[in-house]
A and B are shown apart, each in its own frame.
Chain A
Amino acid sequence: MAEVRVDIAGEEIWLMPERTAYWPRLGWLICADLHWGKAETFQHWGLPVPSAVLEKDLARLSSAIAQTGATKIVVIGDLVHARVGLSEGVRERVANFFKAVNVPMLLIRGNHDRALREIPAGWVMEIIEGSLDEGPFRFRHDDGPSGGLFQWLGHLHPLWVTKGAGDRLRLPCFWIQERALTLPAFSAFTAGQVVKAGLRDRIFLPVEDAVLEAPGARKGRRASRSLPPAEKRT
């Protein structure tokens, strides 16, 4: 296991190379923006994007569950991509996944989850509207009132630009601000927004089988030349 353990609001949280976070005290595996059925949505519209995208994402999620022994998957929004993408095949593969891992899911509905009108057969899950408070945390998809709690967010698909030694990469990242943690998009088939980190923010990059910390805003400013805030650009 190559996770990084950080202290957030007094709780130990693991940031994992699988683009998920783990909260050991409750046994929660937390992730965001899985966009299941996205490849199939593209296919529906005549764009050949391989379905293996879902296979690989499910395998990665299973591996994170196996490594941590998580007892619950908490998805903070955008579990699915669009209604046309919820094909027979997708529903079946996901049902098989639930059967294999035998861990229930809690979904806090995100904007894309409007497509999920009812829970497909075999998907072991519960859906919560709005937000969920637990311990010192509030979990929600998109930014909103925090009620004084530390917020866990998705939606943004944060990216970090690393530069140096004549090289440049754009990578998904965990973005920890003073009062919020934004998770990287779990799906490998998503783009994202380059974030502009504040002075005391911390950025963690899941790369291959490790999680590396990027320097904070001081040197990082140079790395993340401005793009407008994500809300405005999507």
Chain B
Amino acid sequence: MSGAIETWFARKGWKPLAFQTAAWDAYYEGESGLLAVPTGSGKTYAATLAAIAEGLPKNKLSILYLTPLRALARDISLSLQEALDALAPGHKVETRTGDTSSHKKAKQLTRVPSVMVTTPESLAVLLCQKDSAEMFSQLKLVVADEWHELLGTKRGVFTELLLARLRFLRPTLRTWALSATIGNLDDALRSAVGEGREGRMIRGDHKRPVDIEVIVPKGGEWIPWGGHLGLYCLEEVLEYLDPADATILFTNTRNQAERWYQALSIIKEEWGDKLALHHGSLHSKERERVETGVKDGSIRIVVATSSLDLGVDFPAVDKVFQIGSPKNVARMVQRAGRTRHRPGERSRLFFVPSQLLECAEIEAVRAAINEGQVESRPLLDRPFDVLAQHLVTLACEQGFTHREAFREVKSATSYRNIETREFDWVLDFLEKGGGALGAYPEYRKIKLDEEGVFRVAAPRITRLHKMNLGTIHENADMEVRFLRGGKIGRMEENYLSRLEPGDRFYFAGRSLELVRLDEKGAIVKRAKAAPDTMPAWQGGRMPLSETLCAELRPLLASYAVNAPYGLSRLLVQQRERSAVPKDTEVLLEAFKSKDGSHLFVYPFEGRLVHEALAALFAYRLARHDRNTFSISVNEYGFELLSSKEIDFPSLFRDRLLSSEGVDEDILSSLNHTELEKRQFREIARIGGLLYTRYPGKKKTMRQLQSSAALLFEVIRDHDPANLLLAQARREVLETQFQLVRLQNALERMRASKFLWQKLEAPSPFSFALMLERLSTRISTESLKDRVERMRAEWLK
């Protein structure tokens, strides 16, 4: 059978790669599995050609290709059509995404294509459609692309459940996932094929060497010891930039991207439209313009955030820059990979440190790549919001029985541990609201019919459900447009609502002045003067990865006098004033200044873990000796500052590091209600407590406006046992404080030697922390007390 493929390949002048042949063989053996190969290496054909060459029935959907990136759907369908024309002439591939017209979507239901390229969200909507089960009656293969991107996210869990449903409809279905290299490919495989099934792992990753060049200031100037922008190095970077070379400059935050774009467009005015900016807050039209420009070569140099990491499939570029902390290994490999024209070729990355210690980070990246270390993407554990949404999807058209649905859900790896009690709660939540008897008398999302099948309670529920499907939640944002018309993009509402008319800010590379805010967003005009404020987007909180931190600690300790990039100067001073910890040590510094007593701790565990550790230490210290600490953190450590003089070393006891009660202590130390409330927004939307999109009848729907914060309060007050509240708390701990990583860090610290240093003057490490002071307070007072205390301050 694969003879046909070989003939076609030979005609095209191609040779099947080993992993492609392996994948085809596995398919013919009836297997499902995971293909772990880099992007752009022929994985689409590896996953689909066997099924195509085998022969396809007429007018039946045989192959479903799921991509999380709808921008890629077109390119994928073009290459699949080419394969169909050669191997199964007369068969069609069609795309079905949010961009597909409703006319075309309707047509696809009667004139079914043989191959469909779609997104998980569009597939879910399809399942809500009348007679959808019939549509999948001949389905033989589902391919889930970019599985590494989905893994460990709610969208991934959402997709797992969809795969479980398709397997339920078609027990002989084969599912193949495609993934880049990640640290936990076993989990990726397991979740791709579902519980209780054997899957085949096929790896096609040839070594991917990466050349990294660090750009340092000329003339022996120092790389700054603090800061996040990297603009001090602008002149040096300019020497490497030339519109003749297609170039991407990646930054970590939108703010940084705006600033670099601004600087470049001022200095290199002559580049004009060859220079562009790309980040997630720009209007989608603008982003598409830039993407097309990069593809067709009219745009030569792009300053971008991670918005360009994904979803944009364009030919390899000549140069890639990383400005600021690399954050994690996988991302650097992927970004550098943009310069690779052919499989096996070396890829190349220019690194611009925004502060000196990042030079050590990039060396740690180098070491990790050499050792083949890369980050894992741990699976989520049974999120109830995604399950609730999925069950409504099933109830819309197909209906489900308790027994079958429970078995089906449990076959999705992320729900393998779900208990009957929890599943029943979710059902009850959909049927009766989940609370005490009669707590929600008029509510009903699904109901049980006479045959014991759960179905949606009313057509209006189906309508709203379909519009609000999915798990992708964007931060609340507002449109930014000119007074004279013309949209510029979208910005976070949070930021915009804090501006006063007349305030000037950079956005989309322009200096703008706020005229006013209205119900649709912000109205602006071009500012005559330079901005006085800078958008602070919520992004940029991504911490240094665990993998990278594990490389960084021994690396720093190993640096002696001849460390690269002037790192020695910093390390020599650090040793003179304090010490540089070994991998088996934790450095603690105590310092007294006119601000009070400082404690600096350097676990090198990334900023989120440090935030949690700092809160934990402050809480545990203050429990014995009432006190208030202000806290500051960075990727390397954290600081506790007490205005009251205290002797930190004498207070430091083992129980500070105890793992016992970590959850409760962290939650008690912070204003966790606020954090949970914020986390609840996403849960409420996914779990169907909140609609963000309404059908035409705007007026009626205005009755349903509410904020997640309000819902959170009402449910907490009247239905405290609601499992979605518990989920919000768990997610705060897991995502905001990386609880698992925190526990690992505590364990490592307990096993380490404490290296106490009393400082006469700030050490270089502590200096960076003092530069970043962010204040977090610890409050256990009641609402009234808080207002009274604030009032006392107003009246001063």
Complex Cα gap A219–B795 (Å): 9
Is A43 a contact of B442 with CB atoms below 8 Å? Answer: yes
Is B457 a contact of A210 with CB atoms below 8 Å? Answer: no
Is A42 a contact of B783 with CB atoms below 8 Å? Answer: no
Mark contacts of A78-102 with chain B using CB atoms, 8 A cut-off: 1 yes-contact digit, 0 otherwise: 0001101101010000000000000
Quick one: which of A197-234 are within 8 Å of B by CB?
205, 207-210, 212, 214-215, 219, 225-228, 232-234
A47-55, A58-66, A174-182 - interface stretch: A47-55
User: Which residues from A are CB-within-8-Å of B429?
Assistant: 48
Interchain CB contact (< 8 A) of B789 among A45, A167, A228: A167
User: Which residues from B are CB-within-8-Å of A42?
Assistant: 443, 704, 706
Is B435 a contact of A50 with CB atoms below 8 Å? Answer: yes
User: Which residues from B are CB-within-8-Å of A39?
Assistant: 714
User: Which residues from B are CB-within-8-Å of A215?
Assistant: 791, 794-795
Question: Does B788 sit at the interface, judged by CB under 8 A?
Answer: yes
Is A47 a contact of B787 with CB atoms below 8 Å? Answer: no
Tell whether A89 pairs with B516 under 8 Å between CB atoms, given A50-B433, A53-B714, A167-B789.
no
User: Which residues from B are CB-within-8-Å of A82?
Assistant: 700, 703
Complex Cα gap A215–B790 (Å): 11
User: Which residues from B are CB-within-8-Å of A188?
Assistant: 713-714
Shortest distance between the CB of A59 and any CB in chain B (Å): 13
Question: Does B651 sit at the interface, judged by CB under 8 A?
Answer: no
Is A212 a contact of B791 with CB atoms below 8 Å? Answer: yes
A23-31, A131-139, A148-156, A158-166 - interface stretch: A158-166
- Chain A residues within 8 Å of chain B by Cβ, number: 51
Which residue among B429, B688, B711, B775 has the maximum number of chain A CB atoms within 10 Å of its CB? B711
Tell whether A43 pairs with B784 under 8 Å between CB atoms, given A165-B793, A167-B789, A225-B497.
no
User: Which residues from B are CB-within-8-Å of A190?
Assistant: 710
Interchain CB contact (< 8 A) of B497 among A47, A81, A87, A227: A227
Quick one: which of B417-447 are within 8 Å of A by CB?
429, 433-435, 438-445
User: Which residues from A are CB-within-8-Å of B711?
Assistant: 49
Shortest distance between the CB of B517 and any CB in chain A (Å): 5
Tell whether A43 pairs with B443 under 8 Å between CB atoms, given A82-B703, A207-B784, A227-B497.
yes
Is A48 a contact of B689 with CB atoms below 8 Å? Answer: yes
Question: Does A20 sit at the interface, judged by CB under 8 A?
Answer: no
Question: Does B461 sit at the interface, judged by CB under 8 A?
Answer: yes
Question: Does B715 sit at the interface, judged by CB under 8 A?
Answer: yes
Interchain CB contact (< 8 A) of B441 among A40, A210, A214, A226: A40
Question: Does A5 sit at the interface, judged by CB under 8 A?
Answer: no
User: Which residues from A are CB-within-8-Å of B791?
Assistant: 162, 164, 212, 214-215
Question: Does B460 sit at the interface, judged by CB under 8 A?
Answer: yes
User: Which residues from A are CB-within-8-Å of B434?
Assistant: 48
Is A89 a contact of B442 with CB atoms below 8 Å? Answer: yes
Complex Cα gap A49–B518 (Å): 29
Tell whether A166 pairs with B433 under 8 Å between CB atoms, given A41-B703, A189-B714.
no
Name the residue of chain B whose CB is nearest to the CB of A166. Answer: B777
Shortest distance between the CB of A171 and any CB in chain B (Å): 8
User: Which residues from A are CB-within-8-Å of B690?
Assistant: 47
Tell whether A46 pairs with B715 under 8 Å between CB atoms, given A40-B441, A191-B706, A212-B788.
no
Shortest distance between the CB of A210 and any CB in chain B (Å): 6
Shortest distance between the CB of A104 and any CB in chain B (Å): 27
User: Which residues from A are CB-within-8-Å of B439?
Assistant: 50-52
Complex Cα gap A82–B435 (Å): 23
* Size band of the interface chain B makes with A: 35 or more
Question: Does B660 sit at the interface, judged by CB under 8 A?
Answer: no
Question: Does B464 sit at the interface, judged by CB under 8 A?
Answer: yes
Name the residue of chain A whose CB is nearest to the CB of B710. Answer: A191
Mark contacts of B17-28 with chain A using CB atoms, 8 A cut-off: 1 yes-contact digit, 0 otherwise: 000000000000
Tell whether A81 pairs with B703 under 8 Å between CB atoms, given A46-B460, A164-B790.
yes
Question: Does A121 sit at the interface, judged by CB under 8 A?
Answer: no
Mark contacts of B282-295 with chain A using CB atoms, 8 A cut-off: 1 yes-contact digit, 0 otherwise: 00000000000000
Shortest distance between the CB of B780 and any CB in chain A (Å): 12
Is B795 a contact of A46 with CB atoms below 8 Å? Answer: no
Shortest distance between the CB of A67 and any CB in chain B (Å): 19
User: Which residues from B are CB-within-8-Å of A191?
Assistant: 705-707, 710
Question: Does A1 sit at the interface, judged by CB under 8 A?
Answer: no
Shortest distance between the CB of A93 and any CB in chain B (Å): 10
Complex Cα gap A141–B690 (Å): 28
Shortest distance between the CB of A48 and any CB in chain B (Å): 4
Tell whether A45 pairs with B440 under 8 Å between CB atoms, given A225-B498, A228-B516.
no
Is B787 a contact of A46 with CB atoms below 8 Å? Answer: no
Is B517 a contact of A227 with CB atoms below 8 Å? Answer: yes
Interchain CB contact (< 8 A) of B793 among A164, A228, A233: A164
Question: Does B451 sit at the interface, judged by CB under 8 A?
Answer: no
Shortest distance between the CB of A162 and any CB in chain B (Å): 5
Question: Does B98 sit at the interface, judged by CB under 8 A?
Answer: no
Quick one: which of B686-718 are within 8 Å of A by CB?
688-691, 700, 703-707, 710-711, 713-715, 717-718
Question: Does B40 sit at the interface, judged by CB under 8 A?
Answer: no
Which residue among A47, A81, A205, A227 has the maximum number of chain B CB atoms within 10 Å of its CB? A47
Is B790 a contact of A49 with CB atoms below 8 Å? Answer: no
Complex Cα gap A210–B779 (Å): 21
Shortest distance between the CB of B629 and any CB in chain A (Å): 12
Is A167 a contact of B689 with CB atoms below 8 Å? Answer: no
User: Which residues from B are CB-within-8-Å of A228?
Assistant: 516-519
User: Which residues from B are CB-within-8-Å of A164?
Assistant: 789-791, 793-794
Tell whether A163 pairs with B710 under 8 Å between CB atoms, given A51-B441, A228-B518.
no
Complex Cα gap A25–B715 (Å): 39
Interchain CB contact (< 8 A) of A165 among B706, B783, B790: B790
Residues of chain B touching chain A, judged by Cβ–Cβ distance below 8 Å, are 429, 433-435, 438-445, 457-458, 460-461, 464-465, 497-501, 516-519, 688-691, 700, 703-707, 710-711, 713-715, 717-719, 775, 777, 779, 782-784, 786-795
Given contacts A43-B433, A50-B719, 5 further A-B contacts (CB under 8 A): A51-B438, A89-B442, A162-B790, A219-B794, A225-B499
In the complex, 10 of the A-B residue pairs with CB atoms within 8 angstroms, ordered by the A residue number, are: A48-B689, A49-B689, A50-B433, A52-B717, A81-B703, A165-B777, A171-B787, A209-B784, A214-B794, A228-B518
Shortest 8 CB-CB distances between A and B: which pairs? A43-B443, A48-B433, A164-B790, A43-B442, A50-B718, A52-B718, A164-B793, A166-B777
